[in-house]
Structure 1
Amino acid sequence: MHLAASLFALYVGTVSSQTVPSAPSPEPIEVVELRLPPIAPSDATGACTSDVNPRGTGCIRREMGDHEFQAGDFTPDGNHVIVNVAFVGAPGAPDPASIYTGEQVILVKADGTNFTNGDHWKCLSCAVPPENARSLDEQKDYPHVFRSGDKALWGHNVLDCGGHQLSSDDCTPEKTHIYPIHWNTAADGSGRGGAPRELRLHPDDRHLGFSSFTATGGQNCYFGRLEFNADPQVGEPRVPRYDLVDVNLLFDPNRQKYLSADDKDLSFHDDAISVGELRGFSGVGDEILYIGPSREANNIDVYAVHVITGAVRRLTSHPEYVDPVAFSHDNQWFVAMDTRGSDRQMWMSGMRYVPPLIDVVTITVASSTRNNGMRRFFQPILIDRYGDRGNYFGQQVNAAGDGSDGAVNDPNWNGRADPAFSHDGTKIVYWQALVVSPACGGANPLPCPVSSSPGHPEFRLMLAKLTSRSPKTPPEPFDVPDKLPWATPFPPGSVPPESSSNSIQPGNYTLKGKFSGVATVQLIGDGGIDTVAVDYTNFSDDGKHFIDGWENVTRTILYPNVWNNKIDWYSDLVQSGAVNATKKTGLGGFHLEIDAVLNIFNANGTLTTTIDGVEYKQPANGT
């Protein structure tokens, strides 16, 4: 037996013998807004005056920009949060305040105190000597503090304070070095290398998870090790840098793909490792977190795969959309940014236990309609390590509030990536962005709110205190090998696959219900699959939910923009048994055009899901 397969069988046997505990009760949570540097009235040189910041230590831009503001995680003591900001309005040199300019990474106090200079923040990257920061990569998103506390991942760079804690007075610009990260993808080591994106740091401080796009817009995910290279002889930039080595493609070629066909019989394989978008690691790093293939129609969820056994767990199952997620360091909890409670996705995913057959063509729509441009619907949800189950769907972290303008649960403040736990498990940090035009105001029927935070920024940094919890010492990180047993080695010179998910060809198929009934399936297209037509007859996988009726969906990719999808959708589904539900389009069907990058909802026709008498209609255009 293949090593990964035997380890998987052992792991599953162990897990199945364990009893999943009953759902935890809600706990008290206090949410406060953390202070940020002063907001500049404009970007103009000198706009950060002594009236705005009497200390002369910089002002940040009010607008969020493209990843210019992004919060990360805690320092080991739990008293500081790392944040990416854009400093603007500084005077010119030789004024000492001139160092506070451009995109920088800072620490923000999370305990109400100040640094010894009197500020409640500290710039880590400002005034680092040029010789200590050579050929930095321009990508400076998703900041993460190393578990050691003396380094930080800053986009495609590593900020290193020479063994000093980032929060200490000993961490000065002169002692700080910032190194670019290089991923060698050429067999001879030449060139700029690959383009990793959304890097996530493993708890062992040695490994990274990341993703990368293919030439046609597909996405693969990888796991590799960081290795310092003081004097690189090949590749660019040829300066001291961190190299990504021992890279693994997160795909097991020895397993069935998620959807397979045996002659004309379709099967779904829940143990398939199909990493759609990497989201990080469990608290100790024994599992990789990712967005995986939907197990129910149009229902996007987070999964975890064990780094050794390849055992797959579905962490979320609520019909709403989930994306950013972070585990506590003791591995017992995770917090997810989720649209649950907003009803944003219920019109298309609210009917449960429908097999994800139409997802072959609707997956881009399901993952795009969660937003409407700059209006997002994420809020932080606290869930125990065992995930959604039964009627347990976690607890909204910021539920305590009256929903008014500026309240901690104001729906105009949208959760963004990534949340994080303090090392001792008593705090959660997350950040939010305010809805701005064109997602409100002007031609949009929804008015634009005004930020109530000091200086009226379009972002805010939030701290959730889990007041009933006692601090815990986090366990040691999992000893993860450089080569994952189930993954595919990806040495320099390897060619990334276009797809590691499904390879079903057009044709007529049958999917049998695990309990009863059948779905007859037509997959139609010339080469690829453009249309999915399904007829259900008494179909049930669980013996509680029974589906009858049909769906017919056609996807058209509006080239040359591979992200722009047009969907023509016709549905007449009826569900009986544990619930009485319908999913129906109106006369003429439902037609949606959406760009997965812009996420602007633009549709005509209707698609309505009704569950036990409660109707969920698709959003109005522009909302």
Structure 2
Amino acid sequence: MGSLRNFLSAVAVAVAVSAQDVETNSARLPSPPKPEPIDIFELPLPPVAPSRDEGACTPAINPRRTGCIGIETLEFQAGSFTTDGNHVVVTVELIGAPAAPDPASIYKGEQLLLIKADGKTFPNGDTWKCLSCGVPADQARSLDPERDYPHVFRSGKNVLWGHNILDCGGADLASTECTPDRTHIYPIHWPNTADGSGRGGIPREMRLHPDDVHMGWSSFTSTGGQFCYFGRLQFNPNPSVGEPRAPRFDLVNVNLLNPSDEKRGAPIFAEDGELRINRDAITVGELRGFSGAGDEILYLGSPWEANNIDVLAVHVVTGAVRRLTSHPDYTDPLAYSPDNKWFVVMDTRVSERQMFMSGMRWLPPLVDIVAVTAASSTRNNHERRFFQPILIDQYGDRGDYFGQQVNAGGDSSNGAVNDPNWNGRADPAFSHDGTKITYWQALVVPKACGDPNPLPCPNSTAQGGRTYRVMVAHLTSRKKSKPAKVFKVPDFIPWAQPFPAGSPVPASHYSLPPGNYTVRGRVSGGADVTLLEDPAIPGRLRTVSVAYQGFVDEPGYVINGHEEVSVDILLPDVWNNMVHWYSDIVQTGAVQASKKTSPDGFHLLIHAVTNVFQANGTLTTTIDGVEYHQPANGT
């Protein structure tokens, strides 16, 4: 693949940050910030046990007998800072504990830890403290098994732990007053029947609003669709209906984050024989959190440019949409700073993983009508994520500013802070004073390396050979900042739809009828588009064919040529896609670019969950002589 430096200098284009006045908005924004010094250090974790066998966590391995972890990631996930910025919460699986009644037997299973981030230790000498170990059973009734994405409440007194909330009885989490006997862990309940007796669709990736009261989440449907929701937490000390019949937090005043106006929710709609691309559309495909002030919902939405998956933000009241990232590579997990002035994203722009598909700028997202799943799935190769943390100011990517790689320092050697074999995972987080960022990484493991994969597996340099690590980036030149005033969000969002318990889930976000259409460039020219229905799945589009004639969405970027993409869903697995791609597009003017497949086309088998890349043929994007080729199979 070509170098990122060559690409950035060749493609210095104006980037849209809102749906209005796309060409000129970036000129009104402040100049991009200059790179700043960043120091990276790794946080200590409990020692590694040699096996999962009972008693394998011996006193020789952990003299204080407070738990051991395994070599592989399994249930591991790092979360956010406590309010003092000196601790980070993590989910781990503790293994090798002795059997009861040994006091050390409580250090087993999936648990919530607090890790020291200031180089100090807790009173017992450990650099970690288990918040959930030893909590009496009647204070952790019906603990939900989903315990991912740990996030400390802004108050510093509670932790969102997957589908649970840990409460330390009003004590600070890091204090000696936060003990098992005063800790409670409450499950979160989302009812799906009007009387509250049934449990709702399984929430995933729950994100806490800065007000510590509201939250957002995503949920898959049985047909592979995904919808996002926003609701309020309400403590229910003695529920009389629904499961679990234990003290819990109910999700009430739930909103479906689909606009009540169908056209407002359609990124592309048909009108009078034309397809119209709607950059005002609110398409909350996967919820990723909130701005630092909580006035915006952050999400992965429908692409603004072909095959380019970005993060968008929508205001919770006005519904104003802005684009936060625009680099052609893939962006996903992110977090805003509490002062609302910065965000950090996990992105593939360092590896240029997606450039072969998305490198041509200002190509309209027409083939994405069928190809968006493929475009969003090739970012990974199974457990090789290609993500690295990128620091971006509040105004987002613009011009030739695409942020600063947080962990750029280092020599890229085995175990270095910028070792490409250590992949960024979800979610990063800022400290409350804005001077630190924490993120975690996983080392590439089979099937993404080793036989039969052509890439060898690296040796771990982490303690005990574990394949996961937690990092802290210290922004050394920054002064401490105060969190922004939290925006008062309404229980019911004006542009969303109320979703009371018992409401049916929509069949889809939007649909386009098959047929022949035209599309006009925002500046000049146009394209002829044909949409063909899937004969195997009535109502679903299988093929998009586009012929460009002098198409210009951005001044100076002229597109001509043809592209056609067909996608077969290999039922019964709705996540398994077979993609047939034919492209011969040329771009002239500000850049000399092309997007071409081999004569027999590019044929990609990709699973949206396992993300193992398997293809025949080639797809190559060239920008001013720099070629970006698709990855080799299995890499």
Normalised by the length of structure 1, the TM-score is: 0.96
Give SS of 1:131's match.
Answer: helix
**Partner letter of residue 509 of structure 1?**
Y
**Partner letter of residue 358 of structure 1?**
V
Q: Which residue of 1 aligns with 2:569?
A: 557
Q: Which residue of 2 aligns with 1:357?
A: 366
Give SS of 1:455's match.
Answer: helix
Distance in 2 (CA, whole Å) between partners of 1:531 and 1:453 is 47
Distance in 1 (CA, whole Å) between partners of 2:357 and 2:568 is 19
| Distance change in 2, residues 1:555/1:225 (3 Å) | same
- The structure 2 residue matched to 1:308, chosen from 308, 317, 323, is 317
**Partner letter of residue 325 of structure 1?**
L
Contact 1:556 1:567 in 2 (8 A): yes
Q: Which residue of 1 aligns with 2:82?
A: 75
Q: Which residue of 2 aligns with 1:149?
A: 156
Give SS of 1:296's match.
Answer: coil
Q: Is 1:240 matched with 2:252?
A: no
Q: Which residue of 1 aligns with 2:391?
A: 382
Q: Report % sequence identity.
A: 66
- After superposition, where does 1:451-530 map in structure 2 within 5 Å? 451-500=460-509, 502-525=510-533, 526=535, 527-530=539-542
Task: Tell me the alpha carbon deviations over residues 460-499 of structure 1, each in whole angstroms, 9 at most, x when there is no partner.
Answer: 0000000000111212311111111111100011111122
Contact 2:19 2:322 in 1 (8 A): no
Contact 1:193 1:236 in 2 (8 A): no
Q: Which residue of 2 aligns with 1:49?
A: 58
Contact 2:97 2:107 in 1 (8 A): yes
Q: Which residue of 2 aligns with 1:545?
A: 557
Contact 2:435 2:479 in 1 (8 A): yes
Deviates more, 1:262-271 or 1:174-183: 262-271
Alpha-carbon shift at residue 263 of structure 1 (Å):
2.1
Deviates more, 1:254-263 or 1:40-49: 254-263
**Partner letter of residue 263 of structure 1?**
D
**Partner letter of residue 372 of structure 2?**
I
Distance in 1 (CA, whole Å) between partners of 2:26 and 2:36 is 29
Q: Which residue of 1 aligns with 2:616?
A: 604
Normalised by the length of structure 2, the TM-score is: 0.95
Distance in 1 (CA, whole Å) between partners of 2:200 and 2:505 is 13
- The structure 2 residue matched to 1:592, chosen from 593, 604, 611, is 604
**Partner letter of residue 316 of structure 2?**
V
Task: Tell me the alpha carbon deviations over residues 429-460 of structure 1, each in whole angstroms, 9 at most, x when there is no partner.
Answer: 00000000111011111100111011111100
**Partner letter of residue 227 of structure 1?**
Q
Q: Which residue of 2 aligns with 1:6?
A: none
Distance in 2 (CA, whole Å) between partners of 1:486 and 1:615 is 43
Contact 2:19 2:280 in 1 (8 A): no
Distance in 1 (CA, whole Å) between partners of 2:155 and 2:325 is 31
Alpha-carbon shift at residue 278 of structure 1 (Å):
0.2
**Partner letter of residue 224 of structure 1?**
G
Give SS of 1:319's match.
Answer: coil
Deviates more, 1:523-532 or 1:303-312: 523-532
| Distance change in 2, residues 1:536/1:145 (3 Å) | same
**Partner letter of residue 473 of structure 2?**
A
Task: Tell me the alpha carbon deviations over residues 65-87 of structure 1, each in whole angstroms, 9 at most, x when there is no partner.
Answer: 1xx10000000000000000000
Alpha-carbon shift at residue 193 of structure 1 (Å):
3.1
Give SS of 1:587's match.
Answer: coil
Give SS of 1:363's match.
Answer: helix
Distance in 2 (CA, whole Å) between partners of 1:155 and 1:408 is 28
- The structure 1 residue matched to 2:293, chosen from 275, 284, 295, is 284
Distance in 2 (CA, whole Å) between partners of 1:547 and 1:11 is 21
**Partner letter of residue 267 of structure 1?**
R
Distance in 1 (CA, whole Å) between partners of 2:540 and 2:136 is 53
| Distance change in 2, residues 1:450/1:16 (3 Å) | closer
Contact 2:51 2:96 in 1 (8 A): yes
Q: Which residue of 2 aligns with 1:5?
A: none
- The structure 2 residue matched to 1:409, chosen from 418, 429, 446, is 418
Task: Tell me the alpha carbon deviations over residues 390-423 of structure 1, each in whole angstroms, 9 at most, x when there is no partner.
Answer: 0000000000010000000000000000000000
**Partner letter of residue 508 of structure 1?**
N
| Distance change in 2, residues 1:524/1:579 (3 Å) | same
- After superposition, where does 1:127-142 map in structure 2 within 5 Å? 127-142=134-149
Distance in 1 (CA, whole Å) between partners of 2:28 and 2:627 is 36
Deviates more, 1:183-192 or 1:282-291: 183-192
Contact 2:87 2:116 in 1 (8 A): yes
Contact 1:515 1:540 in 2 (8 A): yes
Task: Tell me the alpha carbon deviations over residues 252-273 of structure 1, each in whole angstroms, 9 at most, x when there is no partner.
Answer: 1224311111121111111111
Distance in 1 (CA, whole Å) between partners of 2:347 and 2:204 is 22
**Partner letter of residue 294 of structure 1?**
P
Q: Is 1:228 matched with 2:235?
A: yes
Distance in 2 (CA, whole Å) between partners of 1:348 and 1:335 is 24
Alpha-carbon shift at residue 192 of structure 1 (Å):
2.8
Q: Is 1:88 matched with 2:95?
A: yes
Task: Tell me the alpha carbon deviations over residues 586-607 of structure 1, each in whole angstroms, 9 at most, x when there is no partner.
Answer: 1211101111110000001011
Task: Tell me the alpha carbon deviations over residues 275-304 of structure 1, each in whole angstroms, 9 at most, x when there is no partner.
Answer: 010000001111000001101100000001
Contact 1:193 1:235 in 2 (8 A): no
- After superposition, where does 1:92-491 map in structure 2 within 5 Å? 92-254=99-261, 255-256=263-264, 257-491=266-500
Give SS of 1:608's match.
Answer: strand
**Partner letter of residue 624 of structure 2?**
D
Alpha-carbon shift at residue 12 of structure 1 (Å):
7.8
Contact 2:193 2:199 in 1 (8 A): no
**Partner letter of residue 366 of structure 1?**
A
Distance in 1 (CA, whole Å) between partners of 2:540 and 2:27 is 43
Give SS of 1:174's match.
Answer: helix
Paired residues in the alignment total 610
Gaps of 5+ in 2: 1-17
Q: Which residue of 1 aligns with 2:579?
A: 567
**Partner letter of residue 512 of structure 1?**
R
Distance in 2 (CA, whole Å) between partners of 1:115 and 1:17 is 48
Contact 1:296 1:356 in 2 (8 A): yes
| Distance change in 2, residues 1:437/1:529 (3 Å) | same
- The structure 2 residue matched to 1:536, chosen from 548, 555, 560, is 548
Deviates more, 1:119-128 or 1:187-196: 187-196
Give SS of 2:356's match.
Answer: helix
Q: Which residue of 2 aligns with 1:613?
A: 625
Contact 1:12 1:311 in 2 (8 A): no
Contact 1:187 1:492 in 2 (8 A): yes
Alpha-carbon shift at residue 11 of structure 1 (Å):
12
Distance in 1 (CA, whole Å) between partners of 2:598 and 2:26 is 48
Alpha-carbon shift at residue 190 of structure 1 (Å):
1.2
Distance in 1 (CA, whole Å) between partners of 2:156 and 2:199 is 29
Poorly superposed stretches of 4+, deviation over 6 Å: 10-13, 15-18
| Distance change in 2, residues 1:98/1:246 (3 Å) | same
Alpha-carbon shift at residue 18 of structure 1 (Å):
10
